[in-house]
Structure 1
Amino acid sequence: MVGYSFMGAAHSQGWRTAGRVFDLPRTPYMAALCGRDSVAVRQAASRLGWAATETDWRKLITRDDVSLVDICTPGNSHAEIAIAALEAGKHVLCEKPLANTVEEAEAMVAAAEAARARGQLAMVGFNYRRVPALALARQMVAEGRIGTLRHLRVTYLQDWLVDPEFPLAWRLRKEAAGSGALGDLGAHIVDLGQHLAGELLAGVSAQIATFVTERPLPEDPTARGAVTVDDAAVFTGRFASGALASFEASRMAAGRKNSLRIELNGDRGSLAFDLERLNELQFHDQTEPAAHSGFRRILVTEEQHPYLSAWWPPGHGLGYEHTFVHQASDLVRAIAEERQPQPSFADGLQVQRVLAAVEESAHSDCVYTPLVHEPTQSSQSTEPTAAAG
């Protein structure tokens, strides 16, 4: 694995746990952790469970005991590391967003397609697909439980940037992060929206804003630097079928720590999900008589629900970290079965195209920016997500 801070710790939890919970065809071995600071990376490896360390990712990808490279670095390094790892004969898991630009993402897809012919597989880490309630929602949409989709609305709100004295971290610099709330949070909700709907966005109309334009420098709090990414993004979209969608991503929503909410409305019913109640899915069946219809709570903890046959008795809920266990499990199974894991790099490229269209619309005040879908090996389909269990 390359990188060991927040997302690296989350991925490590997944790798440590997957083989202890699921009956996997292969056992993950956490061979080596890579980071630039030799002291810090050794400490992280000891804490997170990695057997060895490297300070140069180029050495990591040549190790004989490494067959998969997990990339948990800022977006500006994703393309270089992923392409090199695939060319070195390694499988690749890359955190989202796939890249900082469409061009980088296209190069990564081309490398992944070439590597697939040689037996290497690549996946992008949209972990929220692995929330059991959202995997169940995908199944219910695919089964026609809400009928023809008419509306989808998603919000993803956080508040960690409300304080104007919060330092100018790498996530606030375009050269490192690519974009702000749009790429950090918006990538998740674009992927989820398209995944749950089972279809792709055809175009968007957007507004973005940066509310705090300068922040203290981490290395010198007395000096300030420019914030070069967005604090918030709001955009509407239309799916190829004509269904309407709305999206909001913000890191400036006071009081919202990690609030992701999604609702789908069809002509036969609706589904609603709130990440702060992640073991629950709300379902309304429009075909029932009005006298006793309405939203009802599905407690997604039953053995028959996605992923849950390997976990606890009904009623014993899971948490955020379990999505990374499910992600690791799904990837190991796909590698063992020599099939394309989902979401693919092509799915990551599609999300990148949406993010680019949002920025184009916002900066040009364009009423509607259409998306051109080039042929890719996308995993977007009307089939429910395969779930381990």
Structure 2
Amino acid sequence: MHTLADLRAGKLAGSKRLDLSCGLTAFPDEIFSLSDSLEVLNLSDNRLTELPADLHRLKHLKVLFCSNNLFTRLPEALGQCEQLFFVGFKACRISQVPPRSLPPRLRSLVLTDNCIESLPEELGQFEHLQKLMLAGNRLHGLPPSIAACQRLELVRIASNNFRQLPQWLLQMPALAWLAFAGNPLNDIHTEEPIRQIPWSQLTLHQVLGEGASGIIQRAQWLDGAGSTEEVAVKLYKGDLTSDGSPLNEMAACIAAGRHPHLIPVEGEVFGHPQQARGLVMQLISPRFATLARPPSLESCTRDVYDGTRLRFDTVLRMATGIASACRHLHDRGINHGDLYAHNILFEENGESLLGDFGAAAFYPDVQTGRTLERIEVRALGILLGELLACCDASDGETAELRGLQQQCVQPDVMCRPSFAAVERALSSL
């Protein structure tokens, strides 16, 4: 984190990124001293209510974070920033999104956890839009004009007021990741019975990981019969995430049940002293590694692989396992919503586990579910393309898999194969 004192003293001259969180109530003019270099500006966690009308003086600005401020209106100054492609105003108090506030090169718009009831029709004019994150607002619908945004791939509309999913949205050719839990959609989910594990039987140890929805810790479980087991405990936060409510994630994780390529859930935490909700899960072997890192600002909707190389048999086994897990979920009326390599654990031999149900949702109805499945098949197709790019095999060896991958990502949603068909095809290779 940078300081205002260093900025004023000229110590940050030439910086491409600036992070200022120091209780700001007004935009510091000194930021303009970086106009020839600044590309990423992070003003999150301040008390700002507006931005200067001449923000476009930051002529190289590409990314702007302004989360956890006091804005009630998306600033119109953004619309004049010609290089700006990422706009992040999470957890402000925004209720208005003027058309003029949208920059011409907009790719990622993050307005999670605000007070927005409607969006401007002009949003459909932004041909570069790939990521639209709107969870935790008051939306009843989306402008149909967005159907013109043919590159739109990721949409988060969880925890709003949608009573049905827009049909035009479900037919968008590039859409692959959709989160919509926590809306009054009358989903067809029924509660699944699950073992209740008393908090008193659990002894927590080191933190294994922490995400937006909760913290995972290694733990020892001493059950009523006196046997001891090493497990992982995930305690959920109550806060809204960019994907939706952690409690919706928990419900989907329970409903998913058992599958060889899902992380097994042993039970639900019962009797936590602060009434925290949590799950007890099987402890995963350290032999498993995360397949990739989440998308960067530049890659937008694509994971980052850091030079990973894979054998063809590893790719094939991994793809078959993940397709099988997805078929299992959709058979149970669950849309994962975040089918990405960064949510997959794998071993060198291709053994794999699909995790992170933060964007998962239950089918609103069977017919819509068929379409949701084909949308998620595109996500699998994108994953297959990434695995093929990491694969040490000849074009001849991978030809059939490439053909299947192309079927999965074709723009006509309902012409894509089902997960069952993909699993069969992969098993036959």
TM-score by length of 1: 0.31
TM-score by length of 2: 0.29
Greater fraction of residues in strand = 1
**Relative contact order (C-alpha < 8 Å, sep 6+): which is higher?**
1
Indicate the structure (1 or 2) with the bigger Cα radius of gyration: 2
